[in-house]
Each structure stands twice: as C-alpha cells, then as structure tokens.
Chain A
Amino acid sequence: MTTYRVTIANRENATFEVEARRPLLESLRAQGVDLPYGCKYGGCITCAAKLTAGTVNQRRQVALNNRQINAGYVILCVARPMSDITLEIGVDSHGELYRNPFLDPLEPHELKASPHQEPDDGP
C-alpha cells in the first residue's frame, strides 16, 4: 500500500500519512481534520484547497476553471496524492478561488474544460 505525507500549512504544518488510492477528503477527515465539503463527487467546489507543493491526480473534478487550476486549487473529495504534498485548507485558502466575473473576466484559455467522460480510476 503506497502512502504519502500531507502537510497542512495553515494548521501549524500538521502532517498526516494518507493512502495514495483514497481521496484526500476521506483520508484527512478520517484522521480528524475538519474540512468543508458538499457534493463529494468533484462538482461543487466547496471542498477546494490550495496545493502549494507536490502533485495530485484530480482528473475526476469538474468544478474548477483553468484559472483556478493554475492558481493551485484542488478538489479534495476526488483528488488523490501522487507524492508528498503541502496544502492550505478551508476558506482562508480561497482568496483566489472566487472573483467577480464582470470585473475580472476569464481569457479563453482559462475557461473550464468541457465535460467529458474519464475512465474510472478505481475507488
């Protein structure tokens, strides 16, 4: 069983060992981290966190546009770690997540990708 270390920068750098195959939301909540969530399938953005080091697989998320992805946001209910990672969690990490869409429009390359079927990557 592959495991990785998650460091939560805005929780005094607390660290947790998590399984590579499990979504981060599930692993961290099971270890007592109080995290927001909503839909639990990658569609609603409520559980977004900011990834500041390492890589995750979040192919199943359908909530983020490309600007949010480029700013480092990850959807914890579907993201799985692919290395040791560092996260900032909760709404204190959401500074760049929300923007007034009229004052700050997206460039064409920043739009959300069209919905498409991803091969199931297992539980």
Chain B
Amino acid sequence: MRDAHRNGIHCKRDSLMECCGPGFASPADAINAPRETLLYTIAIYTGTGIQKPDYLATVDVDPESPTYSQVIHRLEMPGIGDELHHMGWNACSSCFGEAGMSRKYLLLPGVRSNNIHVVDTATDPCAPRLHKVIEGAEIRAKTNLSGPHTVHCLGSEIIISMLGDARGEAPGGYLHLNNEFEIVGRWESSMGDIKFGYDFWYQPRHNVMVSSEWAAPNTFMPGFDLEEVGHLKYGRELHIWDFEKREPVESFYLGEDGLLPLEVKFHHDPDSTHGFCGAALSSNVIHWWKDDAGKWQWEKVIDVENEPHPEWPIPVPAVMSAILVSMDDKYLYLNNWLHGDMRQYDISDPHAPVLTGQVWMGGLLGKAPEVNGVKMAGGPQMFQLSLDGRRLYVTTSLFSTWDNQFYPEIRERGGVMVMIDCDPINGGMTLNPDFVVNFGKEPNGPSRCHEARYPGGDCTSDIWL
C-alpha cells in the first residue's frame, strides 16, 4: 500500500513551476495553488527519556490516500539531543523571479545542539533525505552564536535568528548562510541595545524588519521560572530594523502588556506595514503599523484574560505562544497553550480584531481532555494553515523542558496533531473528526510534534519583494 502511494502523484515534484523560481507571484496566486497532500513536522525525543534522535515526520494529508492521517516516513537526525523546533525553506516567493532557485531544501536547526540540518525534500517528497549538516561547533567558532530559532530566506540567501552567543547568553544575533549552506558570518551590522532575540519577519518594500524577544538560551532551555520574568531575564520589547542597513532603529517597550513577545508576522501583502506579535505570557496580540506621518505605532488589540482553576492559587495565563496570519490577510489565528483553545479573529480592521472561531483541544481547563479518541497531553501549540485558508493543522508540544513542567503526562502520551476546518468566507472553525495523528504511538515510543511545513509553501514561509 505504501509503495502504491509513493508512486502516486503525491511523491512527484509538484508545485515547482517550469518558467520561474520558487513560490508564487503574489499572495493571491498562492491561495489558488493546489491543495497540500503532504506535510512535514518535526518530532522530538530530546528531553523525553527515549534515547533516540529527533526526526522529521512526513504526514499524509491527502484524504483520497489510503495512508491519510498517518506518518508515512521518518527521517532521523544523525545524533541525539538536537531538540528540533522550527524550520525554514532555502527559498520562498522572495526568489520567484530567480529561475535557478527552487524550494528544495528544508533547514532544521537543533536549538540545544546548534546543528543545522539541511534536508532535501524535492528528490522524493515523501521520503526527505539529509543533504548536509552545519555543525553547531563550527557555527559557535565562526560566529560566536548559539540557539538557532527562526529561518527565513533572503532572496537566494538565508538568515537564522540565534538566541545566544556561543556561551548561551543573550542577545545573540543572526547567522547568515549562502545558498550552498556555507557560513557567511553574522548578518546584522549591529544588535544596538537589543537584549534578547527570538522571531523576525521582514517587509522589503518598506525596508523594515521586526524582531521579538524570548530569553537567553541558558534561561529558557532548562525550563521556565516565573521569578525570572520579574528579574528581566525574559523579553518585553519589539524592535524595528532598517533592513538594508541591518541594524535596529527603534524599539517598542511593551511592558506588562508584552511579556515574552514571541511570534511576529507581517501581512502577506508586500505593500502593507501592518503586523502582529503574540506576547506569550501576557497573552495579548500587539499590532504595529506605520502611520500617515511615517511613524511606527503599536497598540494592544487582543487580550486573553487569565482563567480561574480550582487547583491554582492564581488564575491560569493563556500562554499564547504562536500566531499566524492567513494568506489573504483576513484572519489571525492564535493558540492558548495552557487554556487549551485555538482562536480565529477577523482582522479586516487590524485595529479591531473580531473573534470569529474557537476550538478546544487539551489544555489545563479540562474543556476537551480527549480529541478524536486521543487523550490529550498538552494544549494547542504550533499550527500551519493551508494556502487556501481552509485547513489548520495544530500540534501540542511547546519545548521539551516546558512540556515537562506544565504537562508531565506528555512523557507517556506524546504529542498529537489535529486538523481544524476553517471557513475563510464567513469565519468559524470546527475540529475535523477524520484527522488525528497520535505521536504517542510512534515506533520508538511517544515523541512530540511541533512546527509543520508544506512542500509547496505555507502561510509562515513566503515573503514578497
């Protein structure tokens, strides 16, 4: 059965156009791309007690396929202890005009090991293969950086936010790779007064990049101590960069409204200056834009209230660890990892988001302890939306040490991937009853899935020049 599937259409190089470079001419073209049939998610054993390498799982998401909703391939990393986390493509729509480029390689950094794994997903999309490993020791020695996180391509080159220096202390900087995956050096001219790094996104038509703040690797890797927030060991600022000069030019001090500002997303529309950040601990969405006078502004537009819990001395914060903007820039999705809900907001007016959908899955509030027959450990965590905005794939693990603190039962149960059907016309979300991937049943024991990507591009990869 598997061979029949592997010879089918899903394993051919689809989505790469003959005439042009990778990706799509515009967000509107991306929305009309063929439906995804495969997705890749990382799955970790680091920190779980299972002495096996982390791996890249290929998940069959074609409902016509006999192996729909199953892991159909596992690419193990060469060693243990990487903690795979986020991923990024070697090329995206920012290279659409470059016929020689293709979206062939997925980069998988190990947050703890600093190794960056370059995986060829094009030769056989069902069965990705390891192309190259950039050794963590080489990165540390040549750039004095560690703690890789977000990968964005930059035309034909690649930059990766690195959250620490070689000793794991903040603020780190940006690793610059060329398209042969060789280390060019540090990308940034200056980190200015930036205290911490985390995520970043750029909008070239406005010569701007925005970056956010988690903490030093030595602070977040061992786990979360609330007291360290008060001691300013976690971030609370956003930074506006001059993208061409590669230096920060302005910072927003978000204060108590913006504790742990993590994921940053601009609108996909390359002419827009609007963008959003989810502040994880404050559980707020921050909106920024450039006003008519050319000045950057910010405001809080969503505030998820803490919820009471019978066993907690204080109300439970939502912990909004990720946000995503649909390709048509109409909806913003967010997760509340400790509460257990995914939400959809209509952001047609970015100053005034309207809640249009909500789905419960796991979480500490006990609203949905079981989903599609699987007992949940963890809550909604990372998610990826289809290009047409109709299918949202959601995973449950945050980071091994943080999972171990808040959801210790994840050790036995592993992570879960579910799918939410979204209505991009009228709004609304519903849990899909036919799709669930239980990483608790993996061959080597319970693993934990985190970020997901589609071979043909997705809503968190592509940037237009």
Chain A residues within 8 Å of B, Cβ to Cβ: 34, 36-41, 43-46, 62-65, 90-92, 94, 97-103, 105-106, 108, 111-112, 115
Contacts and interface: CB of A to CB of B under 8 A. Distances in A.
Interface of B: 46-49, 51, 80-83, 112-114, 146, 167-169, 216-218, 221-228, 231, 311-314, 316-317, 400-401, 404-406, 408, 411
A111 B169 contact: no
A101 B112 contact: no
Given A36-B81, A103-B313, 11 more contacts: A36-B46, A37-B80, A39-B112, A44-B112, A46-B401, A98-B404, A98-B405, A102-B316, A111-B225, A111-B231, A115-B218
Contact of B49 (A91, A101, A106): A91
A11 B48 CA distance: 18
User: Helix, strand, loop or mixed for chain A's interface?
Assistant: loop
Contacts of A43: 167-168, 217-218, 221-222
B81 A38 contact: yes
B408 A102 contact: no
17 contacts: A37-B80, A38-B83, A38-B221, A39-B146, A44-B218, A45-B401, A46-B401, A101-B223, A101-B225, A101-B226, A101-B405, A102-B226, A102-B314, A103-B311, A108-B227, A111-B231, A115-B169
Contacts of A62: 167-168, 218
Contact of A34 (B47, B51, B146, B228): B51
A45 B221 contact: yes
A41 B169 CA distance: 12
Contacts of A41: 167-168
B161 to A, nearest CB: 17
A92 B49 CA distance: 8
A39 B311 contact: no
Contacts of A91: 48-49, 411
Contacts of B47: 36, 38, 46
B49 A90 contact: yes
Nearest to A101: B226
B448 to A, nearest CB: 14
Contacts of A115: 169, 216, 218
Contacts of B221: 38-39, 43-45, 63
Contacts of A111: 225, 227-228, 231
A49 B386 CA distance: 43
A28 to B, nearest CB: 13
Contacts of B231: 111
Contacts of A97: 404
Contacts of A65: 222, 225
Nearest to A64: B222
Contacts of A46: 46-47, 81, 83, 112, 400-401
Contacts of B225: 65, 101, 106, 111-112
Contacts of A64: 222
Given A46-B47, A62-B218, A101-B225, A36 B313 contact: no
B146 to A, nearest CB: 8
